[in-house]
Amino acid sequence: EVQLVESGGDLVQPGGSLRLSCAASGFTFSSYWTGWVRQAPGKGLEWVANIKEDGSQKYYVDSVKGRFTISRDNAKNSLYLQMNSLRAEDTAVYYCAREINCGHWGQGILVTVSS
């Protein structure tokens, strides 16, 4: 069974940093693009970033470019999102999703940016 489990969410002050993790199991992690999608409270879904199977290509939504970094460790079956210079508008539930077409999702993790 495919499983994606996010961790690392927290309450952080504006300007602060946070690193999210996503532990994958039940499939060959190194064979899939993987990414992050977020959902602000009461709002819709917003794609954040994707990373290729071998980590050689990374893409971001404009609003996080230069602040967020997606990475992966295929030996650990793990995906990461380093978030710097956090803003109030980054407050959201962050989901890890397998494949460009988001065939599988994690349960999500809440990131709150507030003073």
Residue ranges in contact with another protein by CB under 8 A: 37, 44-47, 50, 59-62, 95, 100-108
- Side chain identity at residue 54, one-letter code: D
Dig out the tokens for 16 from the structure: 């602060």
Nearer to another protein, 27 or 59 (CB): 59
Nearer to another protein, 16 or 112 (CB): 112
Nearer to another protein, 8 or 16 (CB): 8
Considering the complex, what minimum distance in angstroms separates the CB of residue 89 from another protein? 16
Strand blocks (E) in 26-100: 34-39, 45-51, 58-60, 68-73, 78-83, 92-98
Considering the complex, what minimum distance in angstroms separates the CB of residue 77 from another protein? 19
SS3 90: helix
Rounded Cα gap, residues 62 and 5, in angstroms = 26
Considering the complex, what minimum distance in angstroms separates the CB of residue 100 from another protein? 5
